[in-house]
Amino acid sequence: MNKPTGFLEHSRQEPDKLEVSKRVKNYHEFVQKYNPKILNEQAARCMNCGVPFCHSGCPLGNVIPEFNEAVYNEEWQKAYQILIATNNFPEFTGRICPAPCEHACVLGINQPPVTIEEIEKHIIEVAFENNFVQPKFSTVKTGFKIAVVGSGPAGLAVADQLSSVGHVVTVFERHEQPGGLLRFGIPDFKLEKTVVERRIKLMEKAGVIFKCNTEVGMDYSIEQLIDDFDAIILAGGSTVPRNLNVEGRHLKGVHFAMDFLSQQNKRMSGVPIKDIPILATYKNVVVIGGGDTGSDCIGTSNRQGAKSVTQFELLPMPPKQRTATMPWPQYAPLLKTTSSHEEGVERIFSIQTKAFMGDVNQNLVGIQTVQIEWIKDEHGKMIPKEIPNTEKTYPCELALLAMGFLHPQYHGLLENLAIDRDLSGNVNAHPKTFKTNKEKFFCCGDMRRGQSLVVWAISEGRECALKVDEFLQGTSSLSSKDGY
Ligand SMILES: Cc1cc2nc3c(=O)[nH]c(=O)nc-3n(C[C@H](O)[C@H](O)[C@H](O)COP(=O)(O)OP(=O)(O)OC[C@H]3O[C@@H](n4cnc5c(N)ncnc54)[C@H](O)[C@@H]3O)c2cc1C
Ligand code: SF4
């Protein structure tokens, strides 16, 4: 086991980050690696609990105490094997996962939890450095052909799993390069695209075929898809953004966050930008929405040289510590200060946008707001109430709407397929079998569960692959979270 007194001797230590003034000059990752001594100490903090709550906190069911122990003992090959038994892409989750496992860690009862996510990242990077990571060739060929629509983490996980058991898998992607939001959503400073490309190359070597610039349902017909493949998995993500229909929405300078972020990803990768460039340079930027996407807009705006960056959030400021309503080991929605927040932003909570204001040329020049409080209505539902005399106008030349995503795109594939949708507007596929109402069509990831996380997309991709394999072969050798 790990050092029995490790958690008493060592405190949690976050990895160093490049200082703000240096890192905002470029889009590179800036979180530094631990030195071997610190890594060993951090792994030593794991108590190897009899009931490891961390394990159940992870949507993938990562076998955390075992890989912590292997890291502590410097058994890197073993640590790598334990990690990839449940996670196809630890290099993604090790960088950008909000780490629900750490919220569930037993140490978290009265101490900061084990740095599980960082340890995961170190294992996979050591594995790459030592060439442990190899293409997953299959010795059997089943003769079945499978199409995956969408190359985000869900599509990549399903393809990786199904290819590893001998099926021929083709992944369709409408964008120029594969990766979904990992590629054209999440900024390079959180996840450098060489990390995504490294994985895609391995999958290609193993035989996965990627067909980019191909929108299924538009450039590739559904009839052809049904003729060409034995099973089809829809993994197209949740891509329709929530709008803010207030006065002045039409003004030049009001944009959806994803239009802004994907342009910067494309600039970094040398992919031509077909639309009018959206840039924060010399502008007062207001990001409307307090989540991950909003935070990514802040980091990108600061790197582009914004004059000021302000973030609006409709909800009140979350607590900094767990409260009685969020006991351990539940995920605690605490106030999150991301690395992008550290780089410079004014955060305003309980604020509502009333109108966008423009000049004679229809350019955005300001935003009218009001402060709100949250009260209960007669049914006990929390509703916003404006606080009198709190109206304010913020100067703003670029407003970025980062208020989440509603559901997948219907136009094209889903509309033509007449697929069943659930009450939220997502594809109605069974949460255990991933089957849709259409014969041989399955669905997983954000397209099924709604806007979520990379770790959930990988988890759904793995579980869906198992069901597709069983559908084709009657049985499957693929592992499942429940059966590991
Ligand atoms: C800006 C931003 C930042 C985020 N940051 C984080 C984070 O830090 N940590 C985290 O865990 N999660 C984060 N998320 C959420 C996470 O990225 C998603 O939950 C995850 O990518 C969903 O994976 P997916 O494979 O289901 O879909 P996606 O990643 O959305 O991929 C779907 C792909 O399908 C393609 N597609 C759709 N329809 C078709 C079609 N008809 N034909 C061909 N291709 C098609 C799309 O172009 C897209 O590339 C973030 C999301 C955003 C928007
Ligand atoms: S809950 Fe925390 S301390 Fe316990 S095994 Fe998991 S990582 Fe280690």
| Average pLDDT of every residue of the chain | 95
Strands 231-234 and 145-149: parallel
pLDDT digits (tens, 9 = 90+) for 56-77: 899 999 999 999 999 999 999 9
* Spatial CA neighbour of 372 closest among 300, 460, 312: 312
Residue 233 near ligand 2, beta carbon < 6 Å: no
Q: Which atom of ligand 2 is nearest to the CA of 45?
A: 3
Is the CB of residue 356 less than 8 Å from the CB of residue 246? Answer: yes
Is the CB of residue 215 less than 8 Å from the CB of residue 130? Answer: no
Q: Ligand 2 centroid to 105 CA: how many Å?
A: 5
pLDDT band at 4 (very low <50, low <70, confident <90, very high): confident
Q: Which residue has the tokens 């060439």?
A: 131
DSSP 252: B
Query: Is there a common fold for 145-239+406-473 and 243-403?
Result: yes
Q: Helix (H, G, I), strand (E, B), or coil: what is residue 210? A: strand
pLDDT digits (tens, 9 = 90+) for 188-198: 999 999 999 99
pLDDT digits (tens, 9 = 90+) for 401-444: 999 999 999 999 999 999 999 999 999 999 999 999 999 999 99
Inter-residue long-range contacts of 278-282, CB under 8 Å, 24+ positions, other chains counted: 278/398, 279/304, 279/398, 280/304, 280/305, 280/306, 280/309, 280/398, 281/305, 281/306, 282/306, 282/307
Paired with 373 in beta bridges are 385
Looking at domain 6-129, its CATH architecture is Orthogonal Bundle (1.10)
In angstroms, rounded to a whole number, what is the distance separating the alpha carbons of residues 35 and 421? Answer: 49
Q: Helix (H, G, I), strand (E, B), or coil: what is residue 246? A: coil
% the chain with pLDDT above 90: 93
How many CB atoms within 10 Å of residue 424? 12
Instruction: Report the pLDDT value the prediction gives residue 1, as an integer from 0 to 100.
Output: 67
Q: Which atom of ligand 1 is nearest to the CA of 446?
A: 26
Q: Which residue has the higher pLDDT, 135 or 327?
A: 135
Is the CB of residue 127 less than 8 Å from the CB of residue 133? Answer: yes
In angstroms, rounded to a whole number, what is the distance separating the alpha carbons of residues 395 and 169? Answer: 51
Is the CB of residue 382 less than 8 Å from the CB of residue 373? Answer: no
How many CB atoms within 10 Å of residue 133? 18
For the record, the structure tokens of 421 come out as 């949708």
Paired with 236 in beta bridges are none
Q: Which atom of ligand 2 is nearest to the CA of 53?
A: 1
Instruction: Report the pLDDT value the prediction gives residue 56, as an integer from 0 to 100.
Output: 87
What CATH number should be reported for the domain whose range is 243-403?
3.50.50.60
In angstroms, rounded to a whole number, what is the distance separating the alpha carbons of residues 169 and 148? Answer: 7
pLDDT band at 484 (very low <50, low <70, confident <90, very high): very low
Q: Would you kindly state where each structural domain of the chain is located, as residue ranges?
A: 6-129, 145-239+406-473, 243-403
Query: Best of 5, 8, 64 to mutate for ligand 2, by most ligand atoms within 8 A of CB?
Result: 64
Alpha carbon 261 to chain centroid, angstroms:
14
Q: Which residue has the tokens 């290609």?
A: 204
Alpha carbon 167 to chain centroid, angstroms:
27
Q: Which one-letter amino acid corresponds to residue 127?
A: A
Instruction: Report the pLDDT value the prediction gives residue 483, as an integer from 0 to 100.
Output: 54
| DSSP output for 181-233 | HHHHTS-TTTS-HHHHHHHHHHHHHTT-EEE-S--BTTTB-HHHHHHH-SEEE
pLDDT digits (tens, 9 = 90+) for 105-145: 999 999 999 999 999 999 999 999 999 999 999 999 999 99
Task: State the distance between the two ends of the chain, measured CA to CA, in whole angstroms.
Answer: 21
Query: Best of 93, 160, 186, 209 to mutate for ligand 1, by most ligand atoms within 8 A of CB?
Result: 186
- To the question of domain 145-239+406-473 being in CATH 3.40.50.10800, the answer is no
Alpha carbon 460 to chain centroid, angstroms:
13
Residue 71 near ligand 2, beta carbon < 6 Å: no
Mean pLDDT of 162-189: 97
* Spatial CA neighbour of 293 closest among 325, 261, 337, 265: 261
